[in-house]
Amino acid sequence: MLKYEALLENLNEQIETILPRQIMDAGREDYGGFVSDGIAGATNVSAVSTLGYAYLLEGGRYYQSEEILARILAGAAFARKIRRESGCFDLITTNFDSSPDTGFLVEGLAPVVRAARKAKDDGAGQIAEVLGEIIQTAVPGMIAGGFHTPNHRWVLVAALSQALELFPDLDGMDTIESYLAETIDNNADGEYIERSAGTYNAICNRALRLASDALNRPQLLEPVRQNLDLSYHMLHADGTVVTSFSRRQDHGTRVVLVGMVDSYYNMARREENGFYAAVADWLYAISPGGLPWALEPFLTHPEWRVDNLEREPLPESYARVYPTAQLWRVRREKTSATAGAGITSPFGVKHGDVELASVNLCASYFSIAQFSGETFEEVDGKIRMTHISRSSDGGRPGYDLPLGREVAFEEFYNLRKERDVYALPPLTTVLEIEEVDSGFNLHVKSEGYDRVPFQIACDFVPGGELDFDSGIVRGQAAEVAFLKSGYATYHINNDAISIGPGAYAHRFWALRGSESAPTAFRVLMTFTTPVDHLLEIRCGTWSAAEEKLV
């Protein structure tokens, strides 16, 4: 169970890592700043919010600590010195005079100021005053400054709405309404635009629930519920989340979803939802972290520090189709699989410690035949996706024809759209996926033009061994093996995934037009079109005694 006392212990440990980073030499120009990568950057001021939790939360090692108070005041002084005239701060790695990054800072400071106002000691009063001044001064810059990415809108809404809750005389409601008028960017299945299961979904959920409370608009919680429900079903048995769909920097990364603990727990307590509470417990038990946000529900609602909410058992076996998001998730205890359209890794499966991160398909046809499902449908319990190899400008497959007039040096590419095209038929590839006992069958068909080199690539997370009829290969990053025939089993510890039967029609190690896999161990099966192949994937236990899947 997620316990307040255990979170405080982890907060104590985090404070121990923050203190050595703060400059406390009053003679230095950057006095009060927090050093990261050799410099006291402006947005590093966010560390004062963590110090604020440590000072305000009763039972912690640093509760009402004079040292922590002095460090908060020093950090606030540094913030006043380093902020821009607009009241905004720089994210010195990329964004300057940045309203969205200031929004992140204010969003984190506001719960501390709110809690400090309710505390009764003089130190808390000083914290509320100096951090509140940072919030007040930042509001005009956040109003004027705008944003870059979709999630920034809701961070700014959360920051501004909390600022107005704390300081009702401030302007900013018109800006909040302008952002909210765009409507929340979640679809019917609970996805946000960025599809960032590992990072930005958590940021959107947090921002929307904070804004909901500050504005007294409970309707803002509905997309949070939808995404929390979806997010659980995107988790593997080890708490890591599927990131192959992400449009952001978490794409393809291994992330335990601890950044969503605060929203799961907050929604659990406000709605007495034992399922959400159980998810929060589980994620935090796997990866204790996410501070200080994991403590925000307890800072804002001290009454929640006593927790008698009954937990619900978490489902470990399910199959779910999300038609709007065009994805399919299957979990059978330690086995979980994902299929989806619109990405070049249309299928992946994880079984315990072993992961087949991607099964991807490609032909060399004019370098436009890397499979990405353009359609997605459930047919008789199977998932079917189709890719038609045709370039977006319609010029491929085919060849440009001469214009019959002068083409100036600088005009060649601009005139391409005016040329007639000698067209060839597109290559049509269909992938049909079916769950079977202990695994999955993938039926691959590709036709439309003959004698085209084609491949099925099975990309495994490195670190295992691949056993096949007459050999063994270590699965190392950036290495490629061909499975000419029969079956092969990739295993780590006692967990194993078998693939096959293999096929061998060409020896292209890096098929032209195909995506490389520099961080994976790739097993290739090769063909020439037309292709009609049933790939069998099975999950189970590796028997070292019998050297096979059992």
Domains in the chain, please, with CATH?
1-146 (no CATH), 164-315 (no CATH), 317-390+426-549 (2.70.98.70)
pTM check: above 0.85: yes
Closest CA to 467 of 550, 351, 549: 549
Partners of residue 386 on adjacent β-strands: 375, 430
Q: Which pLDDT score, from 0 to 100, does residue 394 have?
A: 77
Q: Which pLDDT score, from 0 to 100, does residue 132 have?
A: 98
Q: How many residues does the chain have?
A: 550
Neighbours of 480 (CB within 10 A): 15
Q: Which pLDDT score, from 0 to 100, does residue 403 have?
A: 96
Place of tokens 């607009």: 86
Q: Which pLDDT score, from 0 to 100, does residue 253 have?
A: 86
d(CA 242, CA 254): 8
Neighbours of 207 (CB within 10 A): 27
d(CA 523, CA 428): 23
d(CA 353, CA 312): 26
d(CA 127, CA 111): 12
Q: Which pLDDT score, from 0 to 100, does residue 245 have?
A: 86
Are 371 and 383 spatial neighbours (Cβ–Cβ below 8 Å)?
no
Element (H, E) at 299: helix 296-300
Alpha-carbon distances of 339 from 370, 428, 440, 448, rounded to whole Å: 16, 19, 11, 24
d(CA 375, CA 342): 8
The pair phi, psi for residue 480, each rounded to 5°, is -130, 135
Q: Which pLDDT score, from 0 to 100, does residue 47 have?
A: 96
10-residue averages of pLDDT along the chain (550 residues)? 95 97 96 95 94 97 97 98 96 95 97 96 97 98 95 97 97 97 96 94 97 98 98 95 90 91 98 98 95 97 97 97 96 97 96 97 97 96 96 88 95 92 96 98 98 98 96 96 98 98 97 95 98 98 94
223: preceding bond cis by omega (within 30 degrees) = no
d(CA 246, CA 203): 14
